[in-house]
Structure formats: C-alpha cells, structure tokens
Amino acid sequence: MRTTHEVDAAELPQRVKRLLAEGHRLALVAAHLDEAGPRVVYLFVAGSPDTRTELHVRLDPDRPEVPTLAHLSFP
C-alpha cells in the first residue's frame, strides 16, 4: 500500500515522529524542482504488509528550508 501526503514544513517533525513510532523507517529523501517551486519528498517504509508513505513538503523558493529531523533519529 502506498499513500502520499502534502505536509507543511512546520508539521513535518510531528508527522515523522508518528511514522517512526508506528514502525516506519526513512528510506529516501529526494529534492525536486517543479514549476510550482522546490519540493522535498520523504519516503517511509514498513513491512508486513509492505507499506510506503510519502511526505511531500513544498518549500518557499526564496527560503528553501526544512526543519531538522536529527533529534528524532538520535535522541
């Protein structure tokens, strides 16, 4: 199963924290430059059943910043 969610940068850490608590693991981070501007995609996976969750974060072209997630991986 694959799901995709558009996420505001400010809510990203909370969404990631929830996914990690549910057993998902970060598999990929990819940056894209679309007509609408920069976008970062975080792909989380979990097994049995195979589950893939994408979090799409649209960035401000003038200030393309995302919040750190390091504190979630290394408490």
pLDDT averaged per 10 residues, the chain (length 75): 96 97 96 95 95 97 94 80
pLDDT at position 75: 62
pLDDT at position 53: 98
pLDDT at position 73: 82
Report DSSP state, residue 68. -
pLDDT at position 27: 97
Tell me the domains of the chain and their CATH numbers: 2-64 (3.30.460.80)
CB distance 9 to 57 below 8 Å: yes
CA distance 53 to 24: 9
Cα 39 to Cα 35, 50, 62, 65, 68, distances in angstroms: 10, 25, 13, 10, 16
> What pTM does this model have?
0.92
